[in-house]
């Protein structure tokens, strides 16, 4: 199964943009890139996903490298409510989602 | 909508006891999943069910059994609990295959915290 690599932790100042990187060098052509986040003491929640093109939604933007070997989740203005663990996952064939350890984002007031 | 509902939210067991974690979804999803999350770690897939009547092992299936009772419900059973099974358990569901890639995203329950003494 294709794996992802993320930094263990990152910090951001409140109201500043945050760029969360993810490497997925073994991605295959049909793997979708999904991002989820987990707020403290809650289950993970969907953030955004994409295949090849950059994507925007009300929560975030997803920038996908041209070779698809990496992607970046962009939070345009970090708030204290964005403090969470962010997971980058590849949805591979068979509909199985394998989570790594994610990036713990700390937002500094 | 309730989404994905897990019961119980908390449970304490003694080593060797058995119990079943229940999961139900009301979104008409066909696929359901059980994950466990140990302190400071990511989620690991225990079992999944692509559709009613089918189940498959994930990364860490040992010590667990599952039942896909119907389209709505997917239960996880610990036959003889061990301290190593102390964890937070999450159930999730989605559509697969989906008409659109967006319908494929996972919806999670709030989790069931299990302690085995």
Residue-wise pLDDT for B103-112, tens only, equals 578 999 999 9
For A87, which of B33, B42, B111 is closest by C-beta distance? B42
Confidence of residue B65 (pLDDT cuts 50, 70, 90): very high
* Residue B99 pLDDT: 57
Work out the mean pLDDT of chain A and round it to a whole number. 91
Work out the mean pLDDT of chain B and round it to a whole number. 92
Residue-wise pLDDT for B81-99, tens only, equals 999 999 999 999 998 766 5
For A94, nearest residue in chain B (alpha carbons): B50
Contact residues for A99 (Cβ-Cβ < 8 A; gap 6+): A36, A44, A87, A89, B35, B42, B43, B44, B45
Please determine, for residue A37, whether its predicted confidence score (pLDDT) is greater than 90.
yes
The answer to whether the CB of A43 falls within 8 A of the CB of A33 is no
Alpha-carbon gap: A15 to the closest alpha carbon of chain B (Å): 27
Classify residue B92 by burial, with Cβ atoms within 10 Å: 0-12, 13-18, 19+. buried
Could you tell me the CA-to-CA distances from A105 to A82, A86, A87, B73, B111 in Å, in that order?
8, 7, 11, 34, 21
Please determine, for residue B101, whether its predicted confidence score (pLDDT) is greater than 80.
no
The answer to whether the CB of B115 falls within 8 A of the CB of B104 is no
What distance in Å separates the CA atoms of residue A51 and residue A99, rounded to the nearest whole number?
A: 18
């Amino acid at each position: 199964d294709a794996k992802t690599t993320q930094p263990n932790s990152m910090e951001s100042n409140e109201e500043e943009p945050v760029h969360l990187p993810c490497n997925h060098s073994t991605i295959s052509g049909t793997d979708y890139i999904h991002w989820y986040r987990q707020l403290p003491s809650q289950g993970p929640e969907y953030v955004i996903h994409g295949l090849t093109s950059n994507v925007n939604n009300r929560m975030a933007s997803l920038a996908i490298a041209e070779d698809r070997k990496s992607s970046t989740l962009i939070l345009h203005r970090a708030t204290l409510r964005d403090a969470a663990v962010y997971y980058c996952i590849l949805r591979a064939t068979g509909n199985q989602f394998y989570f790594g350890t994610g990036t713990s984002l700390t937002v500094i007031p | 909508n309730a989404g994905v509902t897990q019961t119980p939210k908390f449970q304490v067991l003694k080593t060797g006891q058995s119990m079943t974690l229940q999961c139900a979804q009301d979104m008409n999803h066909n696929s359901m999943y059980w994950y466990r999350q140990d302190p400071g770690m990511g989620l690991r897939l225990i079992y999944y069910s692509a559709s009613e009547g089918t189940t498959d092992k994930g990364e860490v299936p040992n010590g667990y059994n599952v039942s896909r009772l119907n389209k709505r419900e997917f239960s996880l059973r610990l036959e003889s609990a061990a301290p190593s099974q102390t964890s937070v358990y999450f159930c999730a569901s989605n559509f697969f295959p989906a008409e659109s890639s967006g319908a494929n995203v996972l919806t999670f329950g709030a989790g069931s915290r299990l302690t085995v003494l």
